[in-house]
Amino acid sequence: MPKGVVVYALSLATIGTMVAVWLLAYPRHCLSIVAPLVALVFISFSFIEIKIVNKNCFNRCYLKEGTLLYRLLSSKILLMLWYILVAFVFTLSLFVEILFYSTALQLYLIFHIFFVSFVYLFIKRSIQNLVHIDTILAREWSIHIGTLLLFGVFVYMTLHSYTPDFMDASLEKSIINASHEVGSECQIIDRVVRLKAEFNALFWWVVENTAEHLQGKVTKWGIWLSFILMNAFALLGINRLIATVIDIIDRSFNKN
């Protein structure tokens, strides 16, 4: 079986398992947090690895050893703490937002894993005889390319989506209906997902009840753009998680 097919299949199985565990278990068990924690490890690893490489290159090229600035920028602990925090934001956004994605968008992610796998393996094969860190560069470039595609698909599906069932003429009723669609017996998860549901209800209610009064396409597009930007962390997190899983699986094959 071709290596690319195996990498794709294992990546799909790994990511699919994380998402399935989360979607099936979050309403009942706090143990479902294990899935986001595993994703957090993957995302943190990719951030920290590339930033350490960038930091080392920057320090060697531009800074003199022994200076205060050199010591500050050479601290791996500060760098790791910062990017674990960034990875946490990405992971939290990813696993909360995916609860509200349409079935079509969730199914699209299966193709997206295939697309990122293809891009990663193609780039790696193209540059492996030219650079030292071909796996890292292939991963980061595939993240950027995958992000552009996923943003485009997300924007298209959002702009052409139907009004949610929870919508009502009353804002209060819309928020109540939306919060009833999600929930968990785990108190921490319940608070987070209900807060997101209430925000979505507020956004849709504002769009539905002000659309007739908005003059000009610029204002309408501005509202939609703000909504899309608020979902940006989740989209970035999805791409980084997918590319990192592919990267780690591919490296394990190379070691063997």
User: If you average pLDDT over every residue of the chain, what do you get?
Assistant: 83
pLDDT tier, 179 (very low <50, low <70, confident <90, very high otherwise): confident
- pLDDT in the model for residue 66: 64
- Using CB atoms within 10 Å of the CB of residue 247, give its burial: 0 to 12 exposed, 13 to 18 middle, 19+ buried: buried
CA dihedral 81, 85, 87, 88 (to 10 degrees): 130
pLDDT tier, 200 (very low <50, low <70, confident <90, very high otherwise): confident
Say yes or no to pLDDT of 215 above 60: no
Distance (Å, whole) CA 93 – CA 36: 10
pLDDT tens across 76-94, in order? 788 888 889 999 999 999 9
Structure-token match 């690893």, residue found: 45
Looking at the structure of the chain, the number of domains it has is 1
Q: What pTM value is reported for the model? A: 0.85
- pLDDT in the model for residue 104: 87
218 half-sphere exposure, CB direction, 13 A CA radius: 0
Tally Cβ neighbours within 10 Å of residue 77: 7
Distance (Å, whole) CA 15 – CA 35: 10
pLDDT tier, 119 (very low <50, low <70, confident <90, very high otherwise): very high
Structure tokens at 123: 């780039």
- pLDDT in the model for residue 229: 73
Amino acid at 134: D
Bigger pLDDT: 105 or 223?
105
Residue range(s) defining the domain that contains residue 228: 3-255
pLDDT tier, 106 (very low <50, low <70, confident <90, very high otherwise): confident
Average pLDDT estimate for 185-205:
84
172 half-sphere exposure, CB direction, 13 A CA radius: 0
Average pLDDT estimate for 139-147:
94
Least confident of 6-10, 142-146, 225-229, 244-248: 225-229
pLDDT tens across 19-53, in order? 999 999 998 888 899 999 999 999 999 999 888 88
> In the chain, count of helices (H) and strands (E)?
10, 0
